[in-house]
């Protein structure tokens, strides 16, 4: 993995939108203009096809406990509130609150390992684009969106608010988040843990990260699954999956500062790297499955919006009883 100070191979800040890449939110660029361009791209690709979908929120009469009231003939006995009944000596049932409004929390990892990209964009740009797509898919009809952004140096928390203007303001704040200095590790586990207390009403938690480093995030993620729908968006660069034959390559771990020279001309080295990377990604996928999270992978060398459309369409078909790839 190359450090953030190295120029990514094949990547330029003004890459045209036709290659499926999100805009580059680099120094000196206009965040307002780039976010507007990103919004138009997302609308053009997602509107009509996915309008009104909640990403996996289970429909029904409601899962949140409401007020208790006296039992009336015909009430569902499965909703009997036995503690209140015992206390008052009068049969009571517990009403539920319908899930008509969705509260979505995004946990966004912007640690130093995201400041890297060798294809059409940096992983950081792709993570922000993923957040923009989640915003577009969920913020309507009174739904609320909040975010916890972690860089390893700081954690920024934005309360869940409703409305498109509030979502746009959140995206601008995220884009303005300073990049983490090299040698600082992210703390995704702490960001996830901050969403567990106090307990929240049922909703959706979207985690956007490359999930590299220690897998200490799995336990708090599994804890969130008790009350939340989970979606994990894994951000990947192709050079993290396999090495190109470019001779002797100096690589830097941006979260530890460690430098290593890799003889990429050696076919055995490339083979062992690819096998290790595949095993690492499979373990990440297995951890996400154990936590009960949906898993969407976005890559810097692919059309990221096409992958989002495919994932949500497949999830919708699976939820309605259709086949899912």
Tokens 């009469």 correspond to what residue?
61
Report d(CA 297, CA 284) in Å as an integer. Answer: 11
- Model confidence at 290, in pLDDT bands (50, 70, 90)? very high
- Model confidence at 139, in pLDDT bands (50, 70, 90)? confident
Which pLDDT value is given to residue 12?
Answer: 43
Q: Cis ω on the peptide bond leading into residue 198 (within 30° of 0)?
A: yes
Report d(CA 108, CA 105) in Å as an integer. Answer: 10
Residue 234 to residues 23, 60, 218, 250, Cα–Cα distance (Å): 18, 29, 14, 25
**Per-residue pLDDT averaged across 23-35, rounded?**
81
Give the DSSP per-residue string, 249-286.
EEEE-TTT--EEEEETT-HHHHHHHHHHHHHHHHHHHH
Give the DSSP per-residue string, 187-245.
-HHHHHHTTTSS---SEEEEEEE---S--TTHHHHHHHTTTEEEEEEEEE-GGGT----
* pLDDT, tens only, 218-273: 999 999 988 889 999 999 999 999 998 888 888 887 777 788 888 989 999 999 99
Contact 139, 29 (CB under 8 A): no
- Model confidence at 170, in pLDDT bands (50, 70, 90)? very high
Give the DSSP per-residue string, 122-168.
-HHHHHHHHHHHHHHHH--TT-EEEEEEE-SS-EEEEEEEESHHHHH
- The pTM of the full predicted model, rounded to 2 decimals, is 0.77
- Name the nearest CA neighbour of 240 among 206, 195, 273: 273
């Amino acid at each position: 993995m190359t450090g953030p100070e190295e120029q990514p191979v094949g990547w330029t800040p003004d890459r045209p939108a036709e290659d499926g890449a999100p805009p580059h939110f680099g120094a000196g660029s206009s965040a307002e203009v780039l976010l507007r361009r990103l919004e138009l791209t997302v609308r053009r690709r997602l509107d009509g096809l996915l309008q009104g979908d909640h990403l996996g929120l289970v429909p029904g009469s409601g899962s949140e406990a409401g007020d208790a009231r006296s039992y009336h003939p015909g009430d569902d006995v499965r909703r009997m509130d036995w503690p209140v009944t015992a206390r008052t000596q009068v049969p009571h049932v517990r009403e539920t609150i319908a899930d008509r409004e969705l509260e979505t929390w995004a946990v966004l990892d912007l640690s130093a390992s995201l400041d890297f990209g060798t294809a059409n964009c940096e992983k950081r740009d792709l993570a922000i684009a993923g957040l923009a797509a989640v915003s577009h898919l969920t913020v309507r009809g009174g739904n609320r969106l909040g975010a916890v952004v972690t860089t390893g140096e700081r954690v920024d928390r934005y309360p869940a608010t409703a409305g498109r203007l509030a979502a746009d303001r959140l995206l601008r704040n995220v884009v303005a988040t300073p990049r983490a200095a090299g040698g600082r590790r992210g703390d995704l586990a702490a960001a996830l843990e901050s969403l567990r207390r106090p307990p929240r009403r049922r909703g959706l938690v979207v985690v956007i990260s490359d999930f590299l480093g220690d897998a200490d995030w799995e336990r708090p993620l599994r804890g969130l699954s008790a009350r939340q729908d989970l979606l994990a968006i894994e951000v990947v660069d192709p050079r993290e999956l396999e090495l190109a034959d470019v001779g002797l390559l100096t690589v830097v771990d941006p979260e530890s500062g460690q430098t290593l020279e890799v003889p990429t001309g050696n076919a055995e080295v490339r083979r062992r790297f690819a096998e290790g990377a595949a095993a690492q990604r499979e373990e990440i996928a297995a951890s996400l499955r154990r936590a009960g999270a949906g898993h969407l992978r976005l890559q810097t060398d692919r059309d990221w919006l096409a992958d989002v459309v495919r994932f949500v369409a497949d999830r919708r078909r699976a939820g309605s009883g259709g086949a899912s790839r």
